[in-house]
Amino acid sequence: MSGMKSKLLLVLAFAGILFAQPDGNQILGIWNTDDGDSKIEIVKCGDNYCGSIVSMKTPRNDERNANASLRNRPLVGVQVLTGFKYAGSNSWTGGTLYAPKRGNAMSAKLKLSTQDSLEITVSAGLASRKVTWTRDK
């Protein structure tokens, strides 16, 4: 009987792993931006997810920032993703993306299309744009 119980527990544990709902942490890690210029590390920030620039091919300052007092800060270390919450189905919503090339933040949605592809849809007014970041290996 104990052998049967062990097998049953093993089967139930395996089924739990197969059918477990992802918790949102599958987005964690380092991602290459679509232009290949920067690497962004996505981490947990309390109950949300955020991301900061950890390296750049050509490091530069935040010279296009709408806030003139921030234009001399190095972009490496700047948080560019803030306030994202896991919404289920490999999607994160409710956050903003800071775009250093434009110097402003926009609302965005994140979607893990594959384990190594992160689709980012940014919205500014009526316009929206989608880019894909790839997981750094």
**Tens of pLDDT, residues 27-55:** 999 999 999 999 999 999 999 999 999 99
Instruction: Identify the sign of the CA torsion 106, 117, 56, 52.
Output: positive
| Overall pTM > 0.85 | no
State the average pLDDT for the chain: 89
What are the boundaries of each domain within the chain?
23-135
CATH number among 2.40.128.520, 1.10.3720.10, 3.80.10.10, 3.30.460.80, domain 23-135 = 2.40.128.520
Q: Is the pLDDT of residue 18 over 70?
A: no
**Tens of pLDDT, residues 51-85:** 999 999 999 999 999 999 999 999 999 999 999 99
CA distances for 50 relative to 72, 78, 110, angstroms: 23, 11, 11
